[in-house]
Amino acid sequence: MISFELSEEHRAVEQTVRDWAGREVAPKIHDLDREHRFERGFLEGMADLHLLGICIPEEWGGAGLDYLSLGVVCEELEYVDTHLRVIMSVHVGLNCMTLWCWGSDDQKKKYLAPQARGEKLATYGLTEPNAGSDAVGIQSTAVRKGDRYVLNGEKVWISLADVADHFIVFAWTDQDKKKNRDHKGLSAFIVERSFKGFSSYTIKEKWGILAGNTGGFSMDNVEVPVENRLGQEGEGFGIAMFALENGRYTVASGATGLIRACLDASVKYARERKTFGKPIGEHQLVKEMIAEMVSDYDAARLLWLRAGWLKNEGRRNTRETSLAKWFATVKSERAASDCVQIHGGNGYSDEYPAGRFYRNSKAAVIYEGTREIHKIMQADYALGFRQDKPRRVELPPFKR
């Protein structure tokens, strides 16, 4: 039976994260955003709350909660600031959940457990200077030499690139397939920052999510042990898409939190600001924008909750998660734009959060599948041009 009510456990998680983020992050976020400064102390707080391994089983260092809990956490974190949810997306959604499902026991012991406990920070490296949505356009290579692979290449627009300890990296292991753009020539690897030949940098001229760390990294003859290959040779593309599906879920739930933040800020301002002798909330066109936020929030929340329920049940949710991500991110961009509009000239001022909401909202309609990619996916599902094929590895259903 599907319930539209969160359980008491979910509500407890929701309130715990809301209290922590409101107390520890909200008072600082304006200055951190303006200073383009990543605050590592927040990671300690998130680790103390067991958020960095929220849905990873306890045997691997996690909290052992369900996938709905992950969505609840992401919504609450992005309500305060997008960069907090980004941490969850790349560390938990893209890396930890992938390593849990595709990794060997030795890999999980060495890398997943400390990540889930929050002792190590992890991210995901697919995008390159000339390859974003076109994943098979990447140029990074991995050549096997005995018991090691030698990796060369560059990744860019990587969240936590300059602060993470561990990376899931994708590269071509079959050069003939690379020439033919055959994704069966791609493989995945666990790379440590400490490996010789690895270097990273921070992108300093970002437009939004300024309190988060975003950058790139280069691999110059980085030697990676064979035991650090994730999955089998040639499974890299499938692993990348598996990871993105879970990452998109976190983006969808997070963007829902941003819609709610825009709604709450707009309602507060519309009740206080007066024009023509009355609060602007009494003007019909202002009401229209607020009403759109209300409907968009409820719809976005239902979509990510459905995707999370399917994950809990162990059912394939590629289509549903894509739809949730597309809808929530597009509507959060509109909500942020309208939030600025409702604030009028003050919306263009850094005195209010509307401008930060707007700057932060734009990235989510680009990363983890652009809105155009998701439109095409949904149309292809409807037309029967796209069908999900069975995968060797699937996300396990939640078991208490």
**Backbone dihedral angles phi then psi of residue 125, each to the nearest 5 degrees:** -125, 95
Question: Nearest to residue 311, comparing CAs of 247, 368, 361?
Answer: 247
Return the closest-CA partner of residue 10 out of 58, 53, 101, 71. 71
397 within 8 A of 314, measured Cβ to Cβ: yes
CB 43 within 8 A of CB 121: yes
What DSSP assignment string belongs to 35-47? Answer: HT---THHHHHHH
**Residue 31's CB: how many other CB atoms inside 10 A?**
11
Token code pair at residue 143: 């050549």
Nearest-angstrom CA–CA distance, 268 and 281: 9
CA distance 352 to 347: 6
Angstrom distance (rounded) from CA 35 to CA 27? 14
Q: HSE of 224 in the Cβ direction (CA atoms, 13 Å)? A: 31
Q: Is 368 a catalytic site residue?
A: yes
Q: Phi then psi for 123, rounded to 5 degrees? A: -150, -165
**Across-strand partners of 190?**
168
Helical H segments across 41-133, by residue range: 41-48, 67-80, 82-87, 97-102, 105-107, 113-116
Instruction: Show the tokens assigned to 229.
Output: 């290959």
Characterize the bridge pairing of strands 166-172 and 122-125.
parallel
Among 235, 245, 320, 368, which one carries the catalytic annotation? 368
| Three-class secondary structure of residue 259 per DSSP | helix
Which residues participate in catalysis according to the annotation? 368
